[in-house]
């Protein structure tokens, strides 16, 4: 029987499964996963590997609620790989590899709005497939209920105009002035009424697009990496000399990203606080005619 869609091909791969079947895709939507569960034998162990990033979920291309569906089914493992881009569908030694995410558009099942995708028949013994599976196995970590709920709250904040004032595709820059509360809110985003200070910090966390489930050390390193990518931070952090960054030095950059809700002065104050808090080993607040950042001298 001819298979008309990529979804048909994947279901055909899975419908005679006797052992474990594997679904690996950065984007997995509930409806698309449900269409596969309808044909996967109940006795087969299902292993899913995906990624949950706030901006992906806010954009509607991935659902942490797949955990609900999998828990109803049972007999599953769900893992996250934050840098995942591979799309693989595996039954025993047989494998379909290509560009297909587990979404209805990826499966080719929403008519003319479906994506143009490719799946190539291969096996898990192919050297490229084997290397990819090994890299995924090394990087994966179990998904938890707490991760699912946390990333959903952060993602929802990106679509809330009262919380998020930054476009999904904008480069990250901190807007809040309370970085010392960042990890606490990252671990447990509040529900219900949220004050102005918390709203701003939640926006920073959601827009950072940091994956859920990091410990505090990992979280700090992620924020440090994001701060290091900010244009006005680069020279300060890379310098081996006693360097000072003033508000005047940063003015051109700040003016380009300021807007109705955040002035250049607001952005400068926030940036200083985040740099001092997350780079205490390299940066200090320096008071001259105005507040500045000073590159701390490294001691032998």
Q: How far is the C-alpha of 13 from the C-alpha of 7, rounded, in Å?
A: 10
168-190: per-residue pLDDT in tens?
A: 567 899 999 999 999 999 998 88
The region, left, alpha or beta by phi > 0 then psi within -120 to 50, assigned to residue 46 is beta
pLDDT tens track for 224-245: 999 999 999 988 898 878 888 9
Task: In whole angstroms, give the CA distance from residue 287 to residue 54.
Answer: 37
Q: Which CATH superfamily is domain 6-143 in?
A: Endonuclease Chain A (3.30.870.10)
- Spatial CA neighbour of 183 closest among 148, 225, 150, 141: 150
As given in the structure block, the two tokens for residue 191 are 């529900």
Residue (of 147, 121, 123, 181) closest to 66 by Cα position: 147
Q: How confident is the model at residue 196 (pLDDT cuts 50, 70, 90)?
A: confident
Delimit the domains of the chain by residue range.
Answer: 6-143, 147-295
Nearest to 124 by CA among 140, 115, 137: 137
CA distance 223 to 182: 10
Phi, psi of 235 (to 5 degrees): -65, -40
The total of other beta-carbon atoms located within 10 Å of residue 148's CB is: 22
Q: Render pLDDT for 33-81 as a digit per residue (tens, 0 to 9).
A: 999 999 999 999 999 999 999 999 999 999 999 999 999 999 999 999 9
Give the chain's length.
Answer: 300
């Amino acid at each position: 029987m001819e298979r008309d869609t990529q979804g048909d091909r994947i279901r055909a791969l899975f419908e005679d499964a006797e052992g474990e079947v594997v679904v690996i895709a950065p984007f997995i939507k509930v409806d698309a996963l449900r269409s596969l569960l309808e044909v996967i034998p109940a006795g087969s162990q299902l292993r899913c590997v995906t990624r949950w990033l706030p901006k992906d979920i806010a954009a509607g291309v991935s659902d942490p609620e797949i955990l609900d569906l999998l828990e109803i089914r049972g007999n599953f493992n769900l893992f996250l790989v934050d840098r995942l881009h591979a799309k693989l569908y595996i039954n025993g030694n047989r494998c379909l590899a290509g560009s297909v995410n587990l979404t209805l558009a990826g499966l080719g099942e929403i008519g003319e709005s479906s994506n143009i995708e490719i799946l190539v028949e291969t096996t898990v013994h192919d050297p490229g497939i084997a290397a990819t599976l090994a890299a995924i196995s090394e990087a994966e970590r179990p998904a938890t209920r707490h991760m699912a709920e946390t990333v959903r709250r952060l993602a929802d904040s990106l679509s809330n105009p009262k919380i998020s004032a930054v476009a999904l595709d904008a480069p990250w820059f901190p807007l809040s002035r309370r970085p010392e509360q960042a990890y606490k809110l990252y671990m447990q985003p509040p529900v219900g009424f949220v004050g102005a200070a918390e709203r701003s910090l939640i926006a920073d966390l959601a827009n950072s697009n940091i994956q859920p489930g990091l410990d505090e050390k990992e979280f700090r390193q992620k924020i440090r990496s994001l701060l290091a990518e900010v244009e006005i931070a680069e020279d300060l952090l890379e310098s081996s000399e006693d360097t000072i960054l003033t508000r005047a030095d940063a003015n051109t950059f700040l003016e380009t990203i300021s807007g109705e809700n955040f002035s250049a002065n607001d952005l400068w104050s926030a940036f200083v606080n985040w740099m001092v808090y997350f780079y205490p080993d390299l940066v200090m607040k320096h008071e001259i005619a105005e507040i500045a950042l000073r590159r701390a001298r490294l001691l032998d």
